[in-house]
Amino acid sequence: MKKILTTVLATSLLLSITPRIEASEQPHIDEEEPNNTFETAIVANHSTNYVGKIDNLSEDIDMYKFSIPNDRNLDIGISVNNEEHNRIDPETKKIKFELFDENGTLIAKGVPDEREPIDLSIETLLKKGDYFIKVSSDLTSSDESINYIFDYYSYIPHSRISGEDRYETSVEISKEWPKEETKYAVLTTGEEYPDALAATPLAKKYNAPLLLSKEGEIPDVVVKELKRLGVKKVDIIGGEKALSSNIEKQLRDLDINFNRIAGKNRYETAIKVAEEVDPDPSEIVVATGEEFADALSIAPIAASQGMPVILTESDRVVEEVGLYISQKNIDKSYIIGGEKAINRSVAGHFPNRERIFGKDRYETNKQIINTFIEGIDPSIIHVATGNNFPDALSGSAFAAQNNHAILLTSDYVPTNDTISVVYSNYDNIKQLNILGGEQAVDKYVIYHLKYPWNF
């Protein structure tokens, strides 16, 4: 069947590819009369086929009612199902539909415009509430009728925040901060992840964007962003192997004060960042410093709750970490990742520990979100690739500002664990924010997440 986009009234038209379920795979429900008024409308469920008939003899109309749980895009399909007609002349057989809000106000309408079986589709943004579809026809003969199939899909809207590279992407994310509220920034290397992993809680503490830099110089696009924000102070995370002394010179030339937070290795750097976040924490997060995914999964949640992120080796407690533990009165330690990431012996050094893990980085990400879901605002989910760190790193500071989570995904097809996070929070999600370009998060991944009940 050919899909024809209809004219949308009083709304904005969203053009996108819609991965509809095949009709044979969907439940079929026959309409029941009477259903010709708003009061007697059939209550419809998404991804279900409703089989109906418009009979001109009684000037028949059919009404359907459905609910949108939150801000959603909508795809409405009406297919003519008359077996005796291979072609339909729009001058004599016109099936049409009208979309109304709960107050009976017309929002949109559609009619066929080609001489062939019709699949009418409208895609538009709707707010939470009840809506009605009216199906009718302009028939010229009293003995004529039209059989049809009606279905609809509501799906989560999304936006993509990306630039030409990781540095520009970090700038595009930074632009989400109100200019008048941001005089502070955190600067980390965009080339290696270790020094940067613990930086998100620090950015959250100062309501600061987390910007990425090259080792030898701050990229022009980042310099422009620092100027645009009117930044007065920058925390440089990591030693001169991560961000060279030339970075400091550039900041001096920009008349920006700076403070370098660095240790002799990634673990000591994380400890020094932790001291800046909270010198006397009651709760901490512990993640491996040998991979980035677990630390990035927990980063925005740790930041939102003011918990420092401590890095450790998988099979040894380094001296700096051991000293830190001995000097603090820690009530709770969240160990992120399984025993391959942090073995049992290492985990045993941390007081009052709780391990959060899954079979891989994506299930671990899901378990982290589920564990802290009561403190998370699920209205916006930030989606980043789990196969590289820069976009998720910059995005984690952004997510932390409003108690949002980072959802990690694989390159082309999200895992069932990733999809299940969206599915279980579907009614509460208003938008997916995609961090990075299509090379980082493919459009097919987005389709899976917008329609979590399809897969």
Structural domains counted in the chain: 2
Taking residues 230-246, report their average pLDDT: 96
User: Which of 135, 155, 175 is at the close of a domain?
Assistant: 155
| Range in 137-141, 266-270, 341-345 with the lowest mean pLDDT | 137-141
Which one, of 305, 322, 298, lies nearest residue 198 by Cα? 298
Which tens digit of pLDDT belongs to each residue from 366-400? 999 999 999 999 999 999 999 999 999 999 999 99
Local confidence band at 30 (pLDDT 50, 70, 90 cut-offs): confident
Note whether 31 and 52 are same-domain residues: yes
Same domain, yes or no: 151 and 206: no
| Domain edge (last residue) among 155, 172, 207 | 155
Query: Are residue 262 and residue 318 in the same domain, yes or no?
Result: yes
pLDDT in tens, 67-99: 999 988 888 777 766 554 444 444 445 678 889
Strand order across the 233-237 sheet: 210-213, 184-189, 233-237, 257-261
pLDDT at 300: 97
Residue 58, pLDDT score:
64
- Cα separation of 99 and 64, whole Å? 10
Q: Specify which residues 409 forms β-bridges with.
A: 385
Please give the mean pLDDT across all residues of the chain.
87
Q: How would you label 86-106 residue by residue, b for 16+ Cβ within 10 Å and e otherwise? A: eebeeeebbbbbbbbeeeeee
Across 332-430, the runs of DSSP E, i.e. the strands, are 332-336, 353-356, 380-385, 405-409
Copy the structure tokens of residue 233.
């102070």
Given 123, 155, 187, the domain boundary residue is 155
Mean pLDDT score, 33-39: 92
Residue 373's φ and ψ, nearest 5 degrees, are: -60, -30
Q: Residue 154: what pLDDT?
A: 84
Sheet-wide strand order for 129-139: 42-43, 62-68, 129-139, 93-101, 106-110
Residues 178 and 87 in one domain: no
Range with the poorest average pLDDT among 180-189, 253-262, 321-330: 180-189
Which element (helix H / strand E) includes 432? strand 431-435
- pLDDT of the residue at 10: 29
100 and 216 fall within a common domain: no
pLDDT band at 136, cuts 50/70/90?
Answer: confident
Of residues 362 and 124, more confidence is placed in 362
270 lies in the same domain as 142: no
Interacting residues of 24 by C-beta distance below 8 A, sequence separation 6+: none
If asked whether residues 99 and 213 sit together in one domain, one would say: no
* Residue 255 sits in the same domain as residue 199: yes
**Are 171 and 148 in a shared domain?**
no
pLDDT of amino acid 18? 41
- Do 75 and 159 meet the contact criterion of CB atoms below 8 Å apart? no
Residue 387, domain extent: 159-454
Tens digits of per-residue pLDDT, 286-306?
Answer: 999 999 999 999 999 999 999
pLDDT at position 77 is 75
- pLDDT at residue 430, as a whole number: 94
What integer is the mean pLDDT of 271-276?
98
Q: Please, what is the angle between helix 361-371 and helix 416-424, to 10°?
A: 20
Mean pLDDT (whole number) for 52-77: 85
| Tens digit of each residue's pLDDT (9 = 90 or more) over 438-447 | 999 999 999 9
Between helix 266-277 and helix 319-327 the angle, nearest 10°, is: 20
Whether 328 and 264 map to the same domain: the answer is: yes
Q: What is the pLDDT of residue 1?
A: 28
Q: Residue 21: its pLDDT value, please?
A: 44
CATH number of the domain to which 56 belongs: 2.60.120.380
pLDDT band at 25 (very low <50, low <70, confident <90, very high): low
H/E element, 145 = strand 145-155
User: Could you tell me if 288 and 426 lie in one domain?
Assistant: yes
User: Once rounded to an integer, what is the mean pLDDT over residues 166-177?
Assistant: 95
Task: Give CA 436 to chain center in angstroms.
Answer: 12
Q: CB neighbours of 245 closer than 8 A, spacing ≥ 6? A: none
Model confidence at 7: pLDDT above 70:
no
Share of the chain above pLDDT 70, in %: 85
Looking up tokens 């999200």 gives 414
Domain match, 141 and 77 both: yes
Which residues are CB-neighbours of 70 under 8 A, at least 6 positions away?
128, 379, 427, 428, 429, 430
